[in-house]
Amino acid sequence: MSRLPAAVDFTLADGRDLVYLLVIAGFVLALKGLSSPRGARRGNLIGAAAALVGIAMTFTDPAFRTPAPGVDHALNLALMLIAMALGAAIAVPAARLVKMTAMPQMVAVFNGVGGGAAALVSITEFLKFPHGTVAVYKIFEVVFGVVVGCVSLTGSAVSFAKLQELVTGRPITYKGQQPVNALVGLTILSLVLATLVTGSTPLLVVVLVLGLVLGVIFTLPIGGADVPVLISLLNSFTGLAVAASGFTLDSNLLIVAGTLVGASGILLTRLMSKAMGRSLPNILFSAFGSVVTAGAATGADARPVKAGTPEDVGVLLAYARKVAIIPGYGLAVAQAQHVARELADALAARGVEVFYAIHPVAGRMPGHMNVLLAEANVPYEQLKEMDLANPELPTTDVALVVGANDTVNPAAKSTPGSPIYGMPIINADQAGAVVFLKRSMRPGFAGIDNELLYDPKTTLLFGDAKETLTKLVQAVEAA
């Protein structure tokens, strides 16, 4: 006769670990949902719910109840709850009120705060280590979290200032800059090694200060147009700092969450670099992407372009069979996404097939343009990423470019000496006709003319994108 197994001793710690495992699965599912516009909202909610559950379960840790000399658990708990309430009071209104065009700035700020928090956690744990009896690998976990977290904190702060135009968006350079940066980096490395050997708190403090300095001087020479790539990289740094603090705290949840952020940030940085046709070292160290000061030629050197009127272009669009709308950062700045959808609806009512061709770095960050258009209730089916849109363009009657420039510049394919040569672009030049909505003939951030503007099949509509699109909607409805 078989015997029943003995009862399993399931403790609170086992339950907490099981919940943490489910939270980790939630983070993975959240990233999966964020991989497409259709699942992004659901993924975001799953990630937020998983984080909330993870935080709640942390308060069941015995450390909150175990008596310890000189520790007032009730006071610490109260301080933590107050800090969480203050954080929510700041973050919720900021997230709800931020304009979509300012989303990269908000990402930079929140990312920097995360890096700083991870550094503080590492420092706090270091101060609790018993002197002279700590393994070298434990000290390395702390020092790594401090350096990377501090670089992320100040680097993100400078990135925010550049995007918010609190400081110039141009690369800030000076003579001997790279040797100075290298010297600071080598000094940090030598002090890290000394800290590993000695476990010295004063040395760690110096490392912390130099890490803050490195974040600033690392970010200053990067131009405003390249800052979104830097933000993605710094986001990865924050994830690594969080993972390091997880090792220090023996928290599997922080280790996995930080690693997921670090890995996804690196992948996103690589994708953005590839979409721009440039290597990451080129973006970080070439001072490319500065604010453009060049303008179109004037006088005898000016090249002729074909300018049109909204009425003429409205007729062209109304009688087309297929139209591609190619949005860029100019559409975001003008907050013209809702009018763009109205134009698409007006065309669809006349039987015109409409789709949106989305470049990977349209706007300021990957997915930025998708979110803008989703905000205007543009159907997901009409959003086509570059690889899907380009095969459609040879059979497209009109390519309507709204606020884009370098991402449709044929020089990326035809001019080896061009700064953007090799950058994947939306092949607007393959459409039957091209309509450009621009404020002026000023070039994009690469500082070069777009030959497509001078193509005989291109018509330019000058003015604010939102106002021009409104006139186009009226012209299409009246055609």
317: CATH: 3.40.50.1220
Q: Is the Cβ–Cβ distance between 347 and 354 less than 8 Å?
A: yes
| 40 domain residue, yes or no | no
Judgement on whether residues 207 and 351 belong to the same structural domain of the protein: no
Half-sphere exposure of 201 (CA within 13 A, CB side): 10
**Better-scored residue on pLDDT, 218 or 442:** 218
pLDDT of residue 370: 79
One domain for residues 258 and 110: yes
Q: How far is CA 122 from the centre of its chain?
A: 26
- Sheet bearing 383-385, strands edge to edge: 383-385, 353-358, 322-327, 398-402, 433-438, 458-462
Nearest to 470 by CA among 298, 330, 308, 338: 338
Question: Is position 260 within any domain?
Answer: yes
Position 252 in a domain:
yes
pLDDT band, very low/low/confident/very high, at 286 (cuts 50, 70, 90): low
Confidence of residue 343 (pLDDT cuts 50, 70, 90): very high
Chosen domain end from 255, 285, 315: 285
Report the catalytic residues: 406
Q: What kind and span of H or E run contains 140?
A: helix 136-163
Amino acid (one-letter) located at 120: L
Give tens-digit pLDDT for 294-324: 444 444 346 777 888 889 888 999 999 999 9
Tokens of 270: 């690589």
- Domain with 204, as residue range(s), is 98-285
- Token duo for residue 183: 């010297």
Domain count, the chain: 2
pTM of the entire structure?
Answer: 0.77
User: Which of 55-64, 178-187, 277-286, 364-373 is the most confident on average?
Assistant: 178-187
Same domain, 240 and 312: no
> pLDDT value at position 225?
66
Tokens linked to 66: 């175990």
Residues 223 and 185 reside in one and the same domain: yes
- Determine how β-strand 458-462 pairs with β-strand 322-327: unpaired
Report the alpha-carbon distance of residue 63 to residue 165 in Å, rounded: 45
Q: Which of 236, 256, 285 is the last residue of a domain?
A: 285
- Spell out where 257-336 has E strands: 322-327
Beta bridge partners of 353: 322
Q: In the structure, what pLDDT confidence band is assigned to residue 397 with cuts at 50, 70 and 90?
A: very high
